[in-house]
Structure 1
Amino acid sequence: MMSWLKAFSPAVVLALFALSVSTMPANALFGWFKKKDTEDEIVYSTDPADKLYNQGLYYLENKDYKQADKKFKEVDLQHPYTEWARKANVMAVFSKYKQGEYDEAIAEGKRYVQLNPGSKDADYVQFLVGMSYYNQIQDVSRDQKRTQDALVELDQVGRRWPDSQYADQARQRVQVARDQLAGKEMEIGRFYLKDGNYIAAVNRFKTVIITYQTTRHVEEALARVAEIYMTMGIVGEAQTAAAVLGHNFPQSPWYKDTYALIQSKGLTPREDSGSWISKAFKGIVG
């Protein structure tokens, strides 16, 4: 973008500048060119938006993220509501993301999408918000709040911008997040099972079967449910869990163990269509 000053001759520009200086208070004049007092202070200049933006890109490419942040912020402050300001906002989110300042990237990214939902870069910024949560996912022994947040935010990419170039990546990471959440439920379920708290254990495995049945954990969840129901003497539900497991995952090691368990009691897998297990899988898996 060309600066409006370039439309005038050098002589006219100098004359306009001299006039503005002559009518400007001394403190304002020196305040304009004030040297920075701290490293993080924004230093205002007369540079056009495109120059400031490109300076920010230069610093970003050279991994000088703090200087890049300053230049992008200058664009936003000095040229608000312009296309250059919107582009600078996008790059500011990216810069925060690259620095690992995920909370800042999330806050600025959400603000951008809220203010510019129709922007051509809104899908990318939404993806960065989701990835900022995603990169903070911890192992299943820890709290999974960030995992849930990542799932929600990344799911928005595919839902709101299904044709986005980032949609497939977002969907893949949503599946990873779902698998992580299912893993957390399994960990808690196993704990309850080991402790002999069968009802609590079944409820955790039930969550996996109903909510996360497209994850790798569903086979074990069905096997655990069959095991618990057999222990509790609820034979029909155990047979149903075994039947559903065998129908959908016939080669699974979990099915082989479950089949052997059912057979050891002189029974065979048999599905009860009225069971919650059968209803959870009907028309979804298999």
Structure 2
Amino acid sequence: MLRAKLSAVARVMPILGLAVLAGCSSTPDDPTANWSPNRIYSEARDEVSAGSYDKAIPLFERLEGRAAGTPLAQQAQLEKAHAHHKAGEQAQALATLDRFMKLHPASPAIDYALYLKGLVNFNDNLGLFSFISRQDLSERDQKAAKESFEAFKELATRFPDSRYTPDARARMTYIVNSLAQYEVHVARYYYRRGAYVAAINRTQSALAEYQDVPALEEALAILQRSYRALGMTQLAADTRRVLEKTYPGSAYLRGEEVSRAGQGPWWKLW
């Protein structure tokens, strides 16, 4: 009985060996095996220029390992993050940037890493179908916008003379305006559905948290109309006086609705 089992095993072993060899022979060779780090970097950059981010990313990953401990490896990390960003892989881009900043806190490229982190979250707010619905940042979830603001703020605070700081500051201004407009967007939603108390709460939140932003004009108008709809005439009159003093030429004082539908997309600012 034992001899029969051993004989069966002996017959199977050559077959397994052939299978292993076949598997090994089908494993593709690494075409970059004999490439220098500079050639890998050059090829990766060419793929990025061609928009082939799916091909560039693995090349940058190989370069990270091949040039470990050198400035070129750090450059590969940053450019891989940028390639992920351009490919729409925002989570991978952010993970790569966080890893870079953790491993290289003293790198001279930290300012760019912060700037890119801000850009990744900034663009993420737009959403895939915003160009169809004409939504802007103020009409979408604001978590990424706040994270973008924090990255730009850290850049501007730590590196005020960085070449990226002026654009970061401009985007911070846009984000603040967007966050205020988001509050007003929600208040408008409540007002149009007759949820006047909720509209009041939202506009008061915007007025308390933000200053000198365009959205506050509409916030005051919604607040006044909500008070009036609830029969709170004194508060409505007080709010109107504030609106008259702050925005004397406001179309809301004439009872007009200011449509935002004709405004162009925010990104034309850049």
TM-score after normalising by structure 2: 0.70
Relative to structure 1, the CA distance from residue 166 to residue 46 in structure 2 (aligned partners, 3 Å threshold; closer, same or farther) is same
Q: CA deviation at 1:85?
A: 0.6
Q: How does 1:158-197 map to 2 (within 5 A)?
A: 158-197=156-195
Q: CA deviation at 1:232?
A: 4.2
2:82 maps to what in 1?
Answer: 94
Identity percentage of aligned residues = 26
Relative to structure 1, the CA distance from residue 246 to residue 126 in structure 2 (aligned partners, 3 Å threshold; closer, same or farther) is same
Q: How does 1:42-191 map to 2 (within 5 A)?
A: 45-138=33-126, 139=135, 140-191=138-189
Relative to structure 1, the CA distance from residue 192 to residue 103 in structure 2 (aligned partners, 3 Å threshold; closer, same or farther) is same
User: Unaligned stretches of 5+ in structure 1?
Assistant: 1-33, 259-286
Q: CA deviation at 1:91?
A: 1.2
Distance 2:25 2:220 in 1: 68
Q: Is the 8 A contact 1:42 1:74 kept in 2?
A: no
1:210 maps to what in 2?
Answer: 208
RMSD over aligned Cα, in angstroms? 2.9
Letter in 1 for 2:85: Y
Distance 1:152 1:234 in 2: 39
Higher mean alpha-carbon deviation, 77-86 vs 115-124, is at 115-124
- Aligned-partner SS, 2:241: helix
Distance 1:63 1:213 in 2: 42
Q: Is the 8 A contact 1:56 1:71 kept in 2?
A: yes
Q: Is the 8 A contact 1:110 1:126 kept in 2?
A: no
Letter in 1 for 2:211: Q
User: How many residues are treated as equivalent by the alignment?
Assistant: 223
Q: CA deviation at 1:257?
A: 4.4
Q: CA deviation at 1:256?
A: 4.8
Relative to structure 1, the CA distance from residue 255 to residue 84 in structure 2 (aligned partners, 3 Å threshold; closer, same or farther) is same
2:12 maps to what in 1?
Answer: none
Distance 2:169 2:25 in 1: 48
Higher mean alpha-carbon deviation, 149-158 vs 104-113, is at 149-158
Q: CA deviation at 1:202?
A: 1.0
TM-score after normalising by structure 1: 0.66
- Aligned-partner SS, 1:135: helix
- Aligned-partner SS, 1:164: coil
User: Unaligned stretches of 5+ in structure 2?
Assistant: 1-23, 127-134, 257-270
Q: Deviations over 1:247-274 (max 9, x none)?
A: 332222224549xxxxxxxxxxxxxxxx
Letter in 2 for 1:186: V
Q: Is the 8 A contact 2:125 2:140 kept in 1?
A: no
Q: CA deviation at 1:205?
A: 0.6
